[in-house]
Amino acid sequence: MVSRCIGILDPLEKKNKLELKEEAKDHFLSTVKVNEEGHFQVSLPGLDNHLPLKDNHDLAIKRLDSTVKRLKAEKLYDPYGEIFNEWKREGIVEEVPKSEIDLPCHCLPHRHIVKENSTTRIRPVLDSSAKQKGSPSLNNCLEKGLNLIELIPSILHRCRMNRIGVSADIRTAFLQMSLCPKVKNYLRFVWYGTDGKLKYYRHCKVVFGVTSSPFLLVSVIQYLLESTVKELNGNPKYKVDIIEQLKKSFYVDNCLASVKIELELQ
C-alpha cells in the first residue's frame, strides 16, 4: 500500500502497464490508414477491451438542459449552436443517420467555455470523463500509450545543444486525423435543432480532451516521419538527418529543435 502511495509499482503491475503501452502501439499500427480525403484515419486504443459502454444518453440530456439554461441566460445560445453548424460544414462532425440511431453508442455531455480575449470567444468542450453510476467513462476505457510528459526533459536538452532554437506547432493538429467509422458512435453528442427537437451528432475527427488523443497524434507524426524515411529513395527534397531530428523534437503538436547555423533553417 505504501509503495502505491509514493508511486512505486510492483514488477507485475509495471509489466502490465508496459504491455498495455505495447498493445496500444500495436493497435495503432494495425488500424491506421490514409482515407480518401488524404487524412490519417485512426481508431481508439483499448476500446475493444471494454465494450459495451453504456450509452450515457440520460446523463447527456440532463447536462444539456443545464448548459442550455446557462447559454440562454448569457445570451450565447445561438452563437454556441452556430459552432456546431460550422463543425458540420467543415466535416468535423456529422448528424447520425436515422438508420444508425439505435446502434451501440456513447454520448458525451458538453458545455461552453468563454474566453473574451481569444479569437474564438466561445467554444464547446466535450466531457469524455462523464459516466453514469456503475459504468466507466469513455476515458476509463481508453489507453493513454506512452507517458508523454517524460519526453519533455530530453526535448528541452536537445534544443539547448545548438546556437539557434526553432519552435513550431501544427495548426488544428487533432482535426487533421479522421476516426474510423466503427468508433464514431462512441463520440456522439446531442443538441437541439431549429425546430426544437433533439439532434444526434457524432465526431468524425479525433477529439481534443479524449485521453488517447495525444498518443494518437504523436503516433501519426512518428508514423509519417518513419514512412517518409522509407520512401526517400535518394530524393534530395528531404534530408534523412532532418527527419531523424524531427522524430525526437515533437511534444504532441509542438516542435522544439535547434540548429548550428542559419543556413540550416532553410
- DSSP conformation class of 107: B
Contact between 186 and 53 under an 8 Å Cβ cutoff? The reply is yes
**Residues 80-87: what's their mean pLDDT?**
96
**Cα 123 versus chain centre, distance:** 16
**Residues 93-103: what's their mean pLDDT?**
95
Instruction: Quote the CA–CA distance of 58 and 215 in Å, as a whole number.
Output: 30
pLDDT of residue 15 exceeding 60: no
**Residues 227-234: what's their mean pLDDT?**
80
pLDDT of residue 9 exceeding 50: no
pTM: 0.86
CATH of segment(s) 17-261: 3.10.10.10
Instruction: Quote the CA–CA distance of 226 and 105 in Å, as a whole number.
Output: 35
**Residues 63-88: what's their mean pLDDT?**
96
Question: Which stretches does DSSP call E strand in 170-212?
Answer: 177-179, 188-192, 198-203
End-to-end CA distance of the chain: 55
HSE (side-chain half, CA atoms, 13 Å) at 220: 27
